[in-house]
Amino acid sequence: MSLTITLIQTQLHWEDKAANRAMLQQKIERIKEKTQIVVLPEMFSTGFSMQPELLAETMDGPTVQWMQEMAAAHRVILCGSLIIREGTDYFNRLIWMLPNGQYGLYDKRHRFAFAGEDQHYTAGNKRMIASVNGWKINLQVCYDLRFPVWARQHTGNASHQPPVQPEYDLLINVANWPQRRSLAWKTLLQARAIENQCYVVGVNRVGEDGNGIYYSGNSMVIDPLGEILYHKADEEDLFTITLHKTTLEEVRSKFPFWKDADGFMIY
């Protein structure tokens, strides 16, 4: 089984939702290859803004509707995060939009307190693992990458229970990760692939935001051994790649490190 994914590494119009939707629509329409999943950066409609009171939408707002339209028109799964309001709470919410209009949700668990995200957004409390064409896909947002327990495979391993199988096959992280900490981004993406014996796709933005912070992109695709299959820095890019389940199964069979993992629980 194979899985084809398109990464969109792009600049973003600062806090301009309509402009970003129009720009991203043009890029999606330029995808020539037949693809199954299109991945956008974190907060793709606004940039990494700490003004949710001004910018948040509801789940029936124009950006979610736009995602439904794009997914349906191009017969793809569209993935990216945006600012969502529910009652008095604001979430940095990743939406996994299916072509039939159904969707899955993941609210960013780890808020970036260094930039004040914890003061404006409510933390999520559960992981989301999607299923596509026989693949299990763990979805995360930016700062989550720094917390390995949150990404750690649950293999069914515990003191009273033998290991069963890895929980997921691919980790997708959508980000607004600044250039000044790009070494950590690149290193941690590889680490998550190696320690979880899975593919990793990291999609970051490029360009300068409204706070004068520069993003160098460095979007990457990494295989289960930590080898880099794709890497692009400092430029906008539209890249499509096909991942192969046989490669993943061969790695896990030849190097069954996952069977020796410690059992644990997340509270």
Cβ contacts of 171 within 8 Å, gap of 6 or more: 137, 138, 140, 151, 192, 193, 196, 198, 199, 200, 201
- pLDDT value at residue 165: 85
CATH number, residue 218: 3.60.110.10
- pLDDT value at residue 158: 55
Q: Which residues participate in catalysis according to the annotation? A: 42, 108, 142
Q: Provide the whole-model pTM.
A: 0.96
Q: What is the secondary structure of 109-170 as a DSSP string? A: SS--GGGTHHHH-PPP----EEEETTEEEEEEEGGGGG-HHHH----S-BTTB-----S-SE
Is the separation of the CB atoms in 193 and 200 below 8 Å? Answer: yes
- pLDDT value at residue 72: 98
Is the separation of the CB atoms in 72 and 101 below 8 Å? Answer: yes
- pLDDT value at residue 258: 81
- pLDDT value at residue 256: 87
Q: Tell me whether residue 164 is in a domain.
A: yes
Q: Tell me whether residue 19 is in a domain.
A: yes
C-alpha neighbours within 13 Å on the C-beta side of residue 211: 11
Tokens of 18: 């309509």
- pLDDT value at residue 262: 80
Count: domains in the chain:
1
Tokens of 225: 């051994």
The position carrying tokens 């001004």 is 54
Could you read off the pLDDT tens digit of each residue along the chain, which spans 267 residues?
999 999 999 999 999 999 999 999 999 999 999 999 999 999 999 999 999 999 999 999 999 999 999 999 999 999 999 999 999 999 999 999 999 999 999 999 999 999 999 999 999 999 999 999 999 999 999 999 999 999 999 876 555 465 678 999 999 999 999 999 999 999 999 999 999 999 999 999 999 999 999 999 999 999 999 999 999 999 999 999 999 999 999 999 999 888 888 877 777
Q: Tell me whether residue 80 is in a domain.
A: yes
- pLDDT value at residue 134: 96
Q: Tell me whether residue 267 is in a domain.
A: no
Domain limits for position 223 = 2-260
- pLDDT value at residue 156: 65
- pLDDT value at residue 17: 98
Tokens of 57: 């939408």
Dihedral sign from CA coordinates of 263, 142, 252, 98: positive
- pLDDT value at residue 163: 60
